[in-house]
Chain A
Amino acid sequence: MTGTFVGMPAFPTAARDALADSQLRGNLARATGTIRAKRAAAVAEVPEWEALRAAGAAIKDDVLLHLEDYLVQLEASLTASGATVHWARDAAEACAIVAAVAKAHDADEVVKVKSMATQEIGLNEALAEAGIAAWETDLAELIVQLGDDLPSHILVPAIHRNRAEVREIFQRAMGTAGRPAPDGLTDEPAELAAAAREHLREKFLRAKVAVSGANFAVADSGTLVVVESEGNGRMCLTLPEVLVSVVGIEKVVPTWADLDVFLQLLPRSSTGERMNPYTSTWTGVTPGDGPQEVHVVLLDNGRTRALADQVGRQALRCIRCSACLNVCPVYSRTGGHAYGSVYPGPIGAILNPLLRGVGVDDQVDSLPYASSLCGACYDVCPVAIDIPSVLVELRSQVVDAHRGGLPGGEAAAMSAASWVFGRARRLAAAERVSGLTGRLATRLARRLPGPASAWTDARDLPTPPRESFRAWWRRTGGGGDA
């Protein structure tokens, strides 16, 4: 990925452009509609789903509230199993550690498993500056990388591209990065996947160093877990001599036994399958099998800032399943790029401000407004993150940050609006007062003063109708282009 999100316009501007792109809207509506239905079927099969969700949330809360103990335990288990543990305060520090490991092995390339953490820290760009090529090996990430593009979804980062575009990207760019696309390549997905297999195989077979993230890091055993579909993860985790995994400090789970929750919640929420094709777990170094030098980089990069936020802390439970993106009426119309971050959709709207802080960047400050507070994200979240409540809290923090410490009329009005929106959402969820939501919001919206700050600029949504958004969505299916 040589594209960058830095300097993206604030959400409303970016969203307006995205909405004007009918091809993008069509791709997105089809794709999110398909995954929504698959997820719903996979979840309906499990009678104990709500018990699993409650357990997932409780385990993650326990981790967050005792994070220091669990991190120290994880470090000890990893070290005992032969892994080298590094700590990184921020993106630059994490990138430098990975680059140093690669350099120590004279590697001028690494193969990469899809990983949100490494995207978040801009690892590919940092490695390129150090003279090291980072090859993305997940099919969608490969499409994004070869297309010099930006990811737009957590699970399917190239969801905004259709098959004809993928074919064109492969024909144009594969040859510049290695083995060219075969002659006569059609736009059949099976053929495109086969072309990716051929293109990447030589890289897997020769790479000395691999870089991964981890879906989970088990404190009591020192085990890392990667959940995937294509086998590119297995290739990276198995064939190279050296493996570096960049793991956010919130990825810890206390015990091996706790995985029986997450290995049920994640695949069904994410791809809507009973189980994803491949899950790999490894505990340090196994003599004679797989990488003989294993590094783990424990990454902060704003997570401790999020941890300090009493309401927002729960966002760190997130297991990156992307279910909240697929049900979000805003995401499924604007797509992921409008959020200007590797974390788009409802989770991105809270995670970015929590990780980076409010009052610093207008783009980030606009994100808590990229929502109708309909609550669909909360309903599907496998770890029960109350995203609407966090959004409301962050809106008031944005307002506070922009009034420069002086109590202002806007701030007071917005705090009140936040309270009402938060309240209204809870009422709307019960679907008893759908009309009231609209009336209250109308009154408040009229009372809000002019475009003096980022948040008013960000208020691009029309005055809410009397019917609640949720009720309207249920009735119309979101306007019918799905």
Chain B
Amino acid sequence: MSARDEILGRVRRALADADRSSPPVSRDYRVTPPDGADLVALFVERVTDYRATAVVVPDADVSAAVEAALAGRRPIVPDGLPWPVDGLADTGQAAAELDAVDAVVTGAALGIAETGTLVLDHGPGQGRRALSLVPDVHVCIVRADQLVYGVPQAVALLDPARPLTWVSGPSATSDIELDRVEGVHGPRTLHVVVADSFRA
């Protein structure tokens, strides 16, 4: 018998006497976000809690804010980024070549205010996964209208068929005496630029 058939047979036998009427799953936890919550302010507060930086600028000033965050580093820039940023194009560089690049600038699929999380679905303007991973500085631009309140709203919008990377602050470890250290293998520095024309 194949391993598959044997395991499925074991599962069947294990549950032969079980009462299989599953209790219904209550979705009470999907609470309505607080009325009139200032998502931009909450998002910025939560992002900075992770020791990332965050600035809010009008759309027209995004390129300048990105330049300031880069502080002279020359980034790699994926195709389709809606804001003009000077840098290297993605020509399919191997990982070792990306390792020689100082920074990366990407957009995002959405941001989660409650947890200060950016989600990349690696579509246009975000690049393949390696781009936002190997360079040591990540500048990520998210529009204010891409922010949602919490995790349930984010999961509902995201497409599981795409590879997703959820980023909450720079890479970190607490593996040595539970002392938090920012920066291990992922980008050690994360700068977030929120484009919000209505606010600024």
B50 & A277 in contact (Cβ 8 Å cutoff): yes
B151-194 CB mask vs A (1 if < 8 Å, else 0) is 11011100011111111111111111111010111110000000
Consensus secondary structure, chain B interface? loop
A49-88 CB mask vs B (1 if < 8 Å, else 0) is 0011011001101100111100110010000010000111
B25 at the interface (CB under 8 A from A): yes
A161: chain B residues within 8 A (beta carbon)? 176
A87 & B7 in contact (Cβ 8 Å cutoff): yes
A269 at the interface (CB under 8 A from B): no
B178 & A66 in contact (Cβ 8 Å cutoff): no
B46 at the interface (CB under 8 A from A): yes
B11 at the interface (CB under 8 A from A): yes
Of the listed stretches B55-63, B64-72, B111-119, chain A binds B111-119
> In the assembly, what is the distance between CA of A300 and CA of B170, in Å?
36
Q: A55-B25, A278-B166 are in contact. Are A87 and B4 (CB under 8 A)?
A: yes
B179 & A229 in contact (Cβ 8 Å cutoff): no
A119 at the interface (CB under 8 A from B): no
B169: chain A residues within 8 A (beta carbon)? 277
Contact size class for B?
35 or more
A444 at the interface (CB under 8 A from B): no
CB distance from A9 to the nearest CB of B (A): 28
B167 & A263 in contact (Cβ 8 Å cutoff): no
A204: chain B residues within 8 A (beta carbon)? 95, 185
B174 & A280 in contact (Cβ 8 Å cutoff): no
> In the assembly, what is the distance between CA of A238 and CA of B134, in Å?
10
Of the listed stretches A15-23, A30-38, A330-338, A398-406, chain B binds A30-38
B10 at the interface (CB under 8 A from A): yes
B18 & A264 in contact (Cβ 8 Å cutoff): no
B102 at the interface (CB under 8 A from A): no
B175: chain A residues within 8 A (beta carbon)? 138-140, 143, 156, 158, 230
Selected from A75, A232, A273, A304, the residue in CB contact (under 8 A) with B184 is: A232
A172: chain B residues within 8 A (beta carbon)? none
Known contacts A204-B95, A300-B7; 14 further A-B pairs (Cβ under 8 A): A27-B177, A30-B178, A58-B24, A62-B22, A72-B8, A138-B175, A196-B184, A232-B185, A234-B165, A235-B186, A260-B151, A275-B166, A281-B163, A286-B122
Which A residues fall within an 8 A CB radius of B? 27, 30-31, 34-35, 47-48, 51-52, 54-55, 58-59, 61-62, 65-68, 71-72, 75, 81, 86-89, 93, 137-140, 143, 156, 158-159, 161-163, 166, 189-190, 192-194, 196-197, 200-201, 204-205, 218, 221, 223, 229-232, 234-235, 237-239, 249, 256-261, 263-264, 271, 273-283, 286, 288-290, 298, 300, 304-305, 307-308, 310, 313
28 CB < 8 A contacts A-B: A48-B31, A68-B11, A139-B175, A140-B175, A143-B176, A156-B178, A159-B178, A196-B184, A204-B185, A218-B160, A229-B173, A230-B184, A231-B184, A235-B186, A239-B95, A264-B29, A271-B174, A275-B117, A277-B167, A277-B171, A278-B165, A281-B160, A281-B163, A286-B163, A290-B130, A304-B13, A307-B11, A310-B18
Which B residues fall within an 8 A CB radius of A? 2-4, 6-8, 10-15, 17-18, 20, 22-31, 46, 49-50, 95-96, 99, 112, 114-117, 122, 128-130, 133-134, 150-152, 154-156, 160-179, 181, 183-187
